[in-house]
Structure 1
């Protein structure tokens, strides 16, 4: 009897466990949607699995995908209305390789068109991305695709010249792509036709700072007459014909051909009143979404951003929804868009690369903003302004996360993009990500609403690679107190200081990161960014910039080969800059009031310290060698004997930047550590290759005599090869560079140090002695 009771108890327990655990549905490309969805008899499509999961009674459903590529006919849509409060797990089986594709696979009958160009008929909708054997091919374009070109893989000043246009029979449906005139992102236009020898264009809504097209950084694509290089293709919508110029060695008849189709792959959608909860997506590869550059874009307040609220995965109004251990590649737009009210949702452990726009976006709804203004020039007058602190509602991401991800080679089409975007959000965690090869910022915060973010332990480098005037980390703070007219803003902030933190309520913490930007600032707090605490960061190239804003504290940071860039500060800003290590003088612009405290910093030279003290800062600061333990290999901790320690600097870990996941660490590119441009290097380095030219120090009386110099200071140009970017700047062999950017260039190391301060501008003013006459030149650095 006891045994029978135990058996009944055991059976009841198993039934209870089963009912709590819910059902598991298996899917395989070899299955059938008429099957029950067991491991032995799997379903065929993820779509049917979602239908069955939504209709099931169990509280928990697992959808397990067997190995293969699933070409979706429609996005997988999981809603709180359809799924209620069920827990949904969508994942691969036993780490098998599973791909959810937004594209289509084509079986083509190729035939010769003419010369090297093949053609094939295609049924179905038009497309803008073609993949041959998994590799994206360039649409027919001018200039031709160049993997080494800095911007857009090739640009040309005459891309839309009347002479060029005259060769196109029917360019309607083609595209014009160009950088913003200020290099603040990009514009994209669709060609409607030609009128009076000029293109009729539609578009240009992808940037919130209107401007003309960049005069040089532009190109055209999707024009049949430009189909003239291996790899290029063109799709004629009228005749449903694909034309393709195969690369050498490729057999198109045996190649795997895929094209983009859908704009989204998975949509997780709840409502503000009933958010979607507890969905986990794990170990899935996402590919082949269509480009989104001509979709509806909306302005994100007064930041420079316009955005398409879509991506391979869209999370709208969710709670505890997670994407983990997944892969996003070959996408036409964003990878993950987290939009609206989201709580504790995010992305972890994932690899995001080779995509058209941004990787991970946290973007709230503008209905949560009080007295919202949507353009740089817009402003709500004080009398009409809602002066209530904080948001109007909870329609924004909070306590969400981007953690342990590897993000690189993004923004392949759109240049106003980033690895992680935060806008109209609160308490976002951006931790342990490795981010590199991005056209603009690695991490961007677009406003001060509502702060509380933690940006920590990230490794961000090779940033601002195709644009300008930006940083590896960038922020704006064009909040309620901010006004585009500086005099108006000064008077408003002085009269009503209570406005300053109405939006930027919680402090943004930036700590224990490693940032490197060779074309801008490592950390760029722009236009009104307020309420930041920045500490324990290694800045490898571009230094730290504080433009006008309030209540920023920067302490215990290390600025390799660079320094502090305070720009146009407010009176009584409350800013603090203390216990930092800098290796160059400060670079202030229109700073009269130096905030709350600028002191106890370590400078590299007596002259740099003297310059700071002349501005009545750094009374207790000192100068000297920082005594880095192993700067050559990236350990910038200082020895106990360093003067920095005496000033209050504290060492922090140098081995915890970026993703912690072993599989992603193996894939990740490593940051390159710069030569320390310090006094020791000036003593040892006498010559170098600089921007493709050979230069050396002036040395000895012989050089003084030969070049007519008054002393042994200066940099001699030994050779200017035709391949150097400086060839068009007028620099010649035997020129002696005596100053750059109004600083004396005593030696090659000093010249390189000066270049790093202005590299983001793309130009540097120099004075050279040529035949004993002073000549002024403007060097193009890009």
Structure 2
């Protein structure tokens, strides 16, 4: 028998086996809160636990559906799927909620309590048994650990912050602070830090452990911080404190004491395989996932040279899987991440899920640093050229690839940790992030931590209300601190010039960002930072923050619309290969230290002749035009241009304005709408003559009368007409009659220029203002938040 005939027989037999496998009858198993694991698992005699159902499925062939009947299932440990639970192609198992019934998977324990009077509105209960008290839910309402300052949802950072958290007076007021937690923003607002109090080293000094949650170590912010878990701070409704030594739970005015829950575990489901023996073809669908422990003190692992550290876990952890999916689940106030793909994963999917009030990120993809060639793990580290592995791409296959995040609603994220994202991607390849709606988040909606290894597709997402508690970031953010990158710019310039082959060793596959709608009011709509390379960015609607390209290579940006903003090229390389063409900008470019303008910057539409001439002065935009883009209906979010628009003459092509974000009807009914901006008139810098700003009423300097009255050298500046009591301007010390001339070292001629500059820097905690008062120039620091 020749080899070709043998091969034909083998292929035929495989085809017959596959056809037989896919034709196996489907089977159903039932689980119910009132069931028994001694039952057969039928609809009439259901099992009691998912573990029993999982074990039963192992001996079954064909497609299997495990239906969970309505109710709450309290897990004392995660349900773990291993390689022994893998399913053949066409024989997937789906664990799902029975149609029309609500199923909650809870990582909490139900704690029996008997409330007794304590002091005033505070009641207490002695707890029998050993429980972890990290979060507390009473009547399904999440309460706050007793904290200083008290929680206020209207306050920007942490729901309340105070500079005097570590003051001697406060520390002296706490008798036993051990077990308390300090949460603080990074000094530059590049994420956050968390510390556990281990005791006092004196009456006015705390002993702390922690502070490793950020990969750019600069210490905690002087102002944005709070402390929790102190009995002395139990002074507001819905606060609680647990005294472990006496096993006493204290709660301020518990409104509903029928059900007291406290989370006990970090993960609800774990998929535990390897690249060699993956977990295959298991799906989870239709559950509410709730009540997991916070993980902020476990967020320790640095993600290469990005600003992140990470905890490899979530309510659902997938490590070593193929074709596993999480669908139509509601991640409700989980303590850490929602879904975490760690190391080897192929064909994974998260779709039609709702993530709200998560402690950290919604969905994370993080590969193995061992798969990275010549990795560096901190911003200031770099591998010398002569010791660098110069082979392109990954070293192993131990990373996520060909996975999809589709049609998910994500909001209220980062309620504990602030270095978070709706979707975080690190050391991964070919991840698709499509049709998600992401908003109300302290940092980026979508973050790519470094260039390893690209190939991602970011499309049709709706991302807004981002960077709410941090700074220097965007609705989409990326870093590219890959092998060629060096923290000393001069060395990096010389290395990239001498060895251009290094540039795409890690970022070998193009990342595509297309057909998204982004809005960031505290940074950039699209922020490519620190060496981000090999991107194609097109057909995106940017509603406020514009687009930034910091040092990097091979970026093509075309056919985008930037409302009320523009293009921000920062510190470009020589021979970057960058392209910026056929875009609509509504303000002048805002370059910083750009000496060579890439491969092509041309055929763009500017708002007016001065903006166009400013660009041409830099040697760009020889064929660009200026004028009204003629948007169809911007008040309703339609920024397509009408026939006759000058943008069309430049080659701009309209793209759809009604395909952003989630597609599921049920999720759409729950989602907030993106706030649409009022378009500013870019043709007249003095068209707006008065504004409200930081609690003050401001207007343009107007004529010789103002110049004389305020002792000004010319007719430029912004007059402070009124200052509201307790406003940010009032707290800074500004008064009616002050005339602002400079904001953060940039001259201010009118309110339009002030708002333009503020739009670029409002992510900062504060700024310096120079102003005339009593015919003399003064300076003050003004808080922005």
Interval containing the TM-score (normalised by the shorter chain): over 0.9
| Distance of 1:302 and 1:712 partners within structure 2 | 48
* Offset of residue 622 of structure 1: 2.1
| Distance of 1:499 and 1:684 partners within structure 2 | 49
- Taking the TM superposition and a 5 Å limit, the aligned residue runs for 1:4-43 are 20-43=24-47
- Taking the TM superposition and a 5 Å limit, the aligned residue runs for 1:636-715 are 636-679=639-682, 685-699=688-702, 703=706, 706-707=709-710, 714-715=717-718
* Residue number in structure 1 paired with 2:111: 106
Please say if 1:410 is aligned against 2:413. yes
Q: For 1:88, which of 90, 93, 113 is the aligned residue?
A: 93
Bigger Cα displacement from structure 2, 74-83 vs 455-464? 74-83
* Residue number in structure 2 paired with 1:225: 232
| Preserved contact between residue 568 and residue 589 of structure 1 (Cα < 8 Å) | yes
* Offset of residue 331 of structure 1: 0.8
- Taking the TM superposition and a 5 Å limit, the aligned residue runs for 1:538-687 are 538-679=541-682, 685-687=688-690
* Offset of residue 739 of structure 1: 4.9
Distance 1:684 1:503, change over 3 A: closer
| Distance of 2:55 and 2:670 partners within structure 1 | 37
| Preserved contact between residue 19 and residue 58 of structure 1 (Cα < 8 Å) | no
* Residue number in structure 2 paired with 1:182: 188
* 2:222 alignment partner, SS class: strand
* Residue number in structure 2 paired with 1:5: none
- Taking the TM superposition and a 5 Å limit, the aligned residue runs for 1:52-131 are 52-54=56-58, 56-83=59-86, 85=88, 87-122=92-127, 123-131=129-137
Q: Deviations over 1:597-624 (max 9, x none)?
A: 1111122222222222222122222222
* Offset of residue 742 of structure 1: 5.8
* 1:399 alignment partner, SS class: strand
| Distance of 1:301 and 1:143 partners within structure 2 | 35
| Distance of 2:407 and 2:22 partners within structure 1 | 33
| Preserved contact between residue 538 and residue 558 of structure 1 (Cα < 8 Å) | yes
* Residue number in structure 1 paired with 2:145: 139
| Distance of 1:73 and 1:408 partners within structure 2 | 28
Distance 1:696 1:79, change over 3 A: same
Please say if 1:235 is aligned against 2:242. yes
| Distance of 1:435 and 1:210 partners within structure 2 | 28
| Distance of 1:592 and 1:680 partners within structure 2 | 27
| Preserved contact between residue 755 and residue 764 of structure 1 (Cα < 8 Å) | no
| Distance of 1:558 and 1:767 partners within structure 2 | 34
Q: Deviations over 1:705-751 (max 9, x none)?
A: 65566776643322100142221223221233345456665543443
| Distance of 1:742 and 1:162 partners within structure 2 | 36
In the alignment, structure 2 segments of 5+ residues that lack a partner are 1-19
* Residue number in structure 2 paired with 1:8: none
| Distance of 1:39 and 1:18 partners within structure 2 | 24
Bigger Cα displacement from structure 2, 181-190 vs 614-623? 614-623
* Offset of residue 518 of structure 1: 0.9
* Offset of residue 672 of structure 1: 0.7
* Residue number in structure 2 paired with 1:211: 218
Q: Deviations over 1:372-391 (max 9, x none)?
A: 11111221111111111111
Q: Deviations over 1:108-131 (max 9, x none)?
A: 111112222111122232220101
* Offset of residue 774 of structure 1: 3.9
Bigger Cα displacement from structure 2, 45-54 vs 220-229? 45-54
| Preserved contact between residue 87 and residue 282 of structure 2 (Cα < 8 Å) | no
| Distance of 1:577 and 1:474 partners within structure 2 | 18
| Distance of 2:712 and 2:605 partners within structure 1 | 34
| Preserved contact between residue 677 and residue 749 of structure 1 (Cα < 8 Å) | no
| Preserved contact between residue 81 and residue 270 of structure 1 (Cα < 8 Å) | no
* Offset of residue 771 of structure 1: 4.0
* Residue number in structure 2 paired with 1:157: 163
| Distance of 2:391 and 2:256 partners within structure 1 | 66
| Preserved contact between residue 587 and residue 682 of structure 2 (Cα < 8 Å) | no
| Distance of 1:770 and 1:605 partners within structure 2 | 35
* Offset of residue 47 of structure 1: 2.4
| Distance of 2:146 and 2:765 partners within structure 1 | 29
| Preserved contact between residue 681 and residue 749 of structure 1 (Cα < 8 Å) | no
Distance 1:431 1:179, change over 3 A: same
| Distance of 1:743 and 1:189 partners within structure 2 | 38
| Preserved contact between residue 21 and residue 62 of structure 2 (Cα < 8 Å) | no
* Residue number in structure 1 paired with 2:721: 718
| Preserved contact between residue 102 and residue 289 of structure 1 (Cα < 8 Å) | yes
* Residue number in structure 2 paired with 1:170: 176
Please say if 1:325 is aligned against 2:334. no
* 1:210 alignment partner, SS class: coil
When the two chains are superposed, the root-mean-square deviation of aligned CA atoms in Å is: 2.0
Distance 1:235 1:741, change over 3 A: closer
| Preserved contact between residue 701 and residue 719 of structure 2 (Cα < 8 Å) | yes
* 1:657 alignment partner, SS class: coil
Bigger Cα displacement from structure 2, 766-775 vs 165-174? 766-775
* Residue number in structure 1 paired with 2:4: none
TM value normalised by structure 1: 0.94
Bigger Cα displacement from structure 2, 415-424 vs 685-694? 685-694
Distance 1:83 1:450, change over 3 A: closer
| Preserved contact between residue 95 and residue 283 of structure 1 (Cα < 8 Å) | no
* Offset of residue 329 of structure 1: 1.1
* Offset of residue 469 of structure 1: 1.0
| Preserved contact between residue 299 and residue 309 of structure 2 (Cα < 8 Å) | no
| Preserved contact between residue 72 and residue 100 of structure 1 (Cα < 8 Å) | yes
| Preserved contact between residue 145 and residue 153 of structure 1 (Cα < 8 Å) | yes
* Offset of residue 64 of structure 1: 0.4
Bigger Cα displacement from structure 2, 705-714 vs 437-446? 705-714
| Distance of 2:769 and 2:541 partners within structure 1 | 30
* 2:763 alignment partner, SS class: helix
* Offset of residue 770 of structure 1: 3.4
Q: Deviations over 1:140-169 (max 9, x none)?
A: 111111111111111111112222111212
| Preserved contact between residue 54 and residue 85 of structure 2 (Cα < 8 Å) | no
| Distance of 2:695 and 2:687 partners within structure 1 | 21
| Distance of 1:563 and 1:83 partners within structure 2 | 51
| Distance of 2:632 and 2:323 partners within structure 1 | 43
TM value normalised by structure 2: 0.93
